[in-house]
Amino acid sequence: MPAKRTIPTLDDVALAAGVSTATVSRCLNAPERVVKATRDRVLTVVQTLGYTPNFGARAMAARRTSTIGAIIPTMNNAIFARGLQAFQEQLHKRGYTLLVSSTSYRPELEEEQIRALIARGADGLLLIGYERDPAIYDYLATRDVPALIAWANERDRPEPAIGFDNRACMRALAQTVWDYGHRQIGVISATTKGNDRALRRVEGIRDTFLDRGLPPQNLSVVETPYSIKNGGAAFASLMATATPPTVVMCGNDVLAVGAIGRAQAMNLNIPEDVSITGFDDIELARIVMPPLTTVRVPHQKMGRRSADALIDMVETRTATRFAALKAKVKIRASLGKIATVADGKTAQD
Amino acid sequence: MPAKRTIPTLDDVALAAGVSTATVSRCLNAPERVVKATRDRVLTVVQTLGYTPNFGARAMAARRTSTIGAIIPTMNNAIFARGLQAFQEQLHKRGYTLLVSSTSYRPELEEEQIRALIARGADGLLLIGYERDPAIYDYLATRDVPALIAWANERDRPEPAIGFDNRACMRALAQTVWDYGHRQIGVISATTKGNDRALRRVEGIRDTFLDRGLPPQNLSVVETPYSIKNGGAAFASLMATATPPTVVMCGNDVLAVGAIGRAQAMNLNIPEDVSITGFDDIELARIVMPPLTTVRVPHQKMGRRSADALIDMVETRTATRFAALKAKVKIRASLGKIATVADGKTAQD
DNA sequence: TGTCCCCATGCAAGCGCTTACAACTCAACA
DNA sequence: TGTTGAGTTGTAAGCGCTTGCATGGGGACA
């Protein structure tokens, strides 16, 4: 009974099974190249000894790891969780492992994390959004590590990306809001610095309303880091002005949920007193009262496709451009209509 | 201008800087042991070449990784996110890196993940809850990898654990519910198979009510995987009985939020028609309407302490037992009082 | 029974890094 | 000027694994 204090290695297994290390290695990596009798004997020993191959050594010798790295802004809310889950399931199906790390929405940490993931042998990387120091793209290129961008897709950017067009999506929602008669608009955005997705969404809103002739002063935007609490605070500040908005469009559902909570605390009725919209359609959007009007993004599909695309990039060393995924405006009770009077001015009922 | 296709190694750096690999290695790992002039020269080359040390090679040579692995049931909701965040921040402060993986609440996947993390060189492991195949504990022992249990702490178990006593916590909440006059109890629990935390919580509820003489048939428990949706469905099934509960105690806040949503959809008033309680006190608990009565667990403290404890275990090769953390019953509007009549029977107002 | 080829297995050279130990330099002191 | 020792740098031996190539044993076929 070997109560060994020492961790078993390939050598130990080989010794105990009476074969060479090469054979043991083959039993583990290409079982069909080893005759059954030998294989069984080896695998029994592996079992008995509790042997687990050393990943670092393997990576070094084999020069690949079947590992994909992903760097996301946060694991703290459902925004990335759903897509990432699908991403990882698909990777798993294709024999890859996922390594995740998060920047806590501090873009300056991203480079370090990229290095760490690459040092750990990531064969490919999933990154969120386009905006980052060009040096990072250079680094990726010298290291020859394929990277795929997700959660965004802009037609005029050359990088391979699987995602949706944040600007266009938000434009579609804004169009609906316009059609519902809103002319006094509040916007709660995530901090746009270093976050192109957030910026594009705000642009989408601006596009729509200003193109249709809304006076700029009727559109006020506040920025705040993503969190329920911050959403509430931002909402309060927007409502505290002389001409409070009739609708508050939020950069994502998390902010919107915060806004709804705060509205209730302020005894405002939604949507009678003020309408609220979100973005993403996380589960919560259907749970809050009233249910949230938002943009439904195909997170699962995005995750799955990203996995396939990235693996292809890794295995074939090629990069392709992809079309943007479609998102859909989901109208729920948090958005109400405004009775429009004459020349674009509005009145509430 | 080296548009090298090849990834720079220590050798490349050494060559370019005109020093030995040993010196380069020292510049990176023990800069004070290299004279400034040399160090600067080396670091410049490192910069220029975009060199990043190969983690696997380093781990193999140095025989440690300063990496801690954590295996949690899911990343999909806030339950583990908060504690894990604190855990990782504290690790970072002390120079360690976190590797996370999740089992999606399928305990049978845990062993594989433990192996994977150990293969990747994890110096120590954070595991959630006690219940797992004893073979796993054996394996951990042979590999000589320290493991710390979190999110649970039972006095009579020998494993080092940092967490709270799920049973006692739930007992405290149940006591409050009892005091509020409830005598017809519904319970929505997570699947208890393979999940000792969930099981203990149910036991806590049973303890309290049955000890106080509640007829067993007045206490009905349904199990369902954690999710908002499932919480809603379970709630509906509990309410569909001949004598529906006056309070539904949920195994965690996520289930409770689902229950609240469903109650509203059923046009039930909370807490007039039915009270609902949760467990964890995630952010959502204060957002839902009405705010949720729950048990506030010190997730952050738990995360921080776990990091310190685990690092100590890794560095000193010792294990200690820890006292359970305290949790606190948080009473909010989702729990109402029942007007008690005579011998323990109840009536609603 | 002899020849050929295929298949299972072994041998051994690294993969990129750390680190014990050796070697050297040079300032300080006698 | 010789000796000493502290401080800096180099040498080289692995860490545990994969894999190209070499080897040898049979089965198939003539």
Residues of B in contact with A283 (CB under 8 A): 228-229
Smallest CA–C1' separation from A36, nucleotide:
C8
Q: How far apart are CA B16 and CA B42, in angstroms?
A: 8
Minimum distance, in Å, between the CA of residue B264 and any CA atom of chain A: 9
Minimum distance, in Å, between the CA of residue A288 and any CA atom of chain B: 7
pLDDT class of B76 with cuts at 50, 70, 90: confident
pLDDT above 70 for B344: no
Spanning CA of B41 to C1' of C26, the rounded length in angstroms is 22
Which residue of B144, B228, B261 is in closest CB contact with A5? B144
- What's the topology of domain B64-164+300-325? Rossmann fold (3.40.50)
CB A164 within 8 A of CB A326: yes
Is any atom of nucleic acid chain D found less than 7 Å from the CB of residue B19? yes
Does A10-53 match A166-297+330-347 in CATH topology? no
- Among chain A residues, CA nearest to B4: A142
C-alpha distances in angstroms, B61 versus A56, A236, A252, B25? Answer: 10, 57, 46, 11
pLDDT class of B2 with cuts at 50, 70, 90: very low
What average pLDDT does this structure show over B248-266? 95
Q: Do A283 and B116 touch (CB under 8 A)?
A: no
pLDDT above 60 for B346: no
Q: Where are the alpha helices (DSSP H) in chain A?
A: 10-17, 21-29, 36-49, 55-62, 78-93, 110-119, 134-143, 166-179, 196-211, 228-239, 253-265, 284-287, 299-316
Q: What angle do CA A312, A317, A319 make, to 5 degrees?
A: 70
Is any atom of nucleic acid chain D found less than 7 Å from the CB of residue B33? yes
- Among chain B residues, CA nearest to A255: B287
- What's the topology of domain B10-53? 434 Repressor (Amino-terminal Domain) (1.10.260)
Which residue of A85, A119, A284 is in closest CB contact with B53? A119
Q: Do A55 and B121 touch (CB under 8 A)?
A: yes
pLDDT above 80 for B77: no
Is any atom of nucleic acid chain D found less than 7 Å from the CB of residue B22? yes
Query: How far does Cα B278 stand from its chain's mean position?
Result: 16
Is any atom of nucleic acid chain D found less than 7 Å from the CB of residue B34? yes
Minimum distance, in Å, between the CA of residue A1 and any CA atom of chain B: 12
Taking only the tens place, the pLDDT of each residue in A287-338 is 888 999 999 999 999 999 999 999 999 999 899 999 999 999 999 999 999 9
Instruction: Give kind and range of the element (H or E) at residue B45.
Output: helix B36-49
Q: Strand A328-330 vs strand A294-296: parallel, antiparallel, or unpaired?
A: antiparallel
Spans of chain A, pLDDT less than 50 = 1-4, 341-349
Which residue of B139, B144, B228 is in closest CB contact with A283? B228
What average pLDDT does this structure show over B55-79? 91
Q: Do B57 and A56 touch (CB under 8 A)?
A: yes
Amino acid identity of residue B136, one-letter, is: I
Taking only the tens place, the pLDDT of each residue in B113-164 is 999 999 999 999 999 999 999 999 999 988 889 999 999 999 999 999 999 9
- What's the topology of domain A65-164+299-325? Rossmann fold (3.40.50)
pLDDT above 60 for B345: no
Spanning CA of B4 to C1' of C14, the rounded length in angstroms is 22
Which residues make beta-bridge pairs with B296? B280, B328
Spanning CA of B49 to C1' of C11, the rounded length in angstroms is 36
A166-297+330-347 has which CATH code?
3.40.50.2300
Whole-number pLDDT of residue A76: 76
Minimum distance, in Å, between the CA of residue B82 and any CA atom of chain A: 7
CB B256 within 8 A of CB B270: no
Structure tokens at A145: 């590590």
CB A46 within 8 A of CB A16: no
Collapsing DSSP to helix, strand or coil, A31 comes out as helix
Domain ranges of chain A: 10-53, 65-164+299-325, 166-297+330-347
Is any atom of nucleic acid chain D found less than 7 Å from the CB of residue A284? no
Using a 7 Å cut-off to protein CB atoms, list the covered nucleotides of chain C.
7-20
